[in-house]
Amino acid sequence: MSMRNFFRPTGRLLVFGLGLACALSPSAIGQSCGSQGIAVQVLGSGGPELPDKRASSRYRVWEDGQARALIDAGGGSALRFGESGATMSQLDVILFSHLHVDHSGDFPVLVKSSWFEDRKRPLPIYGPPGNEYFPSTREFVYDFFGDKRGAYRYLSELLVAGEDGSYKLQPHNVAAGSMPVAVFSNGALTASAVRVIHGGVPALAWRVELHGKSIVLSGDTNGDGEGLVRLANNADLFVAHNAVPEGATGVERRLHMPPSVIGQIAENAHVKNLVLSHRMLRTLGKESQTEAEIRKHYSGPLTFANDLNCFPVK
Ligand SMILES: [Zn+2]
């Protein structure tokens, strides 16, 4: 046992329920994902602004009451993860869309919590490669938990081969283009990705499939290119980011897709259900305008997400 294990409790932490956030959704969608079937739970429906009173971006794929995949880990979403009743030991994989703070800031919080669980199997982590301004996903994880220079090097046993006492994080960089590429499969669950355009930020959109159901998450993107339409083709559920209103210009538009583009992508991909998330101060309160723009292109089900909303995938 390493010195770092000295303070590890022998049993699982008791997690005291904090109560679910009040139901803000205008729809009849409940807060609990239940114990049956496949569902996506929105653990963070906001963007980077704290005054939006929402956790930043994170989604969880449920199967029969178990958390199977996490997509992103924005600030505040670790608390939502705990509130939802999930544990890190249940996860098959973590997928990052990109490494902006509002999509990754709670990652070390999750990892630290997992250290108190009895997880044995490795935890694969996939995300974009780096560039001049962003670390790759591997660098990002090593920047936290690497034994030499990691900010939280006291937890390096979670990452470094040969250090005993913990399961291992397994970070990977995904060099995807505009054609969907299969990234992860464990037999039951598969994940594939395309590169999406989010200004100069290396970014991915993800498609998760299990038991014939498909869930696509746009991540942050301005909607340029064909990759996202290809990835979202016939998706049972498409989660798109509503970060800017119609008419956005300049840097906002270079980073994000306005509602009309969301509607075009949803229609061109023939998605069966559309959920809008990553709601920011500049789009909150403009839901009727947003919906009207989307409705010019897409006529299927549409819901504005709030934290902890659960969307069954049927
Ligand atoms: Zn974002």
Tens digit of pLDDT for each residue in 110-155?
A: 999 999 999 999 999 999 999 999 999 999 999 999 999 999 999 9
Q: And the tokens for 289?
A: 């305008």
List C-alpha distances in Å: 232 to 153, 164, 280, 286, 297.
39, 41, 23, 25, 16
What's the whole-number mean pLDDT along residues 264-279? 98
Using a cut of 0.85, tell me whether the model's pTM lies above it. Answer: yes
CA of 165 to the centre of ligand 1 (A): 35
At 290-299, the pLDDT tens digits run 999 999 999 9
Q: Tens of pLDDT along 73-104?
A: 999 999 999 999 899 999 999 999 999 999 99
For ligand 1, the distance from its centroid to the CA atom of residue 137, given in whole angstroms, is: 16
In angstroms, what is the span from residue 10 Cα to ligand 1's centroid? Answer: 37
Ligand 1: centre distance to CA 157 (Å): 30
- In this structure, how many other beta carbons lie within 10 angstroms of the beta carbon of residue 172? 15
Alpha carbon of 14 to ligand 1 centroid (Å): 32
| Structure confidence at residue 267 (pLDDT) | 98
Angle in degrees, 0-180, between the axes of helices 287-295 and 259-268, rounded to the nearest 10: 40
Q: 9-18, 226-235, 260-269 — which is least confidently predicted?
A: 9-18
Q: How far is the CA of 68 from the centre of ligand 1 (A)?
A: 22
Query: Residue 188: phi, psi to the nearest 5?
Result: -90, -40
Position 131 scores a pLDDT of 98
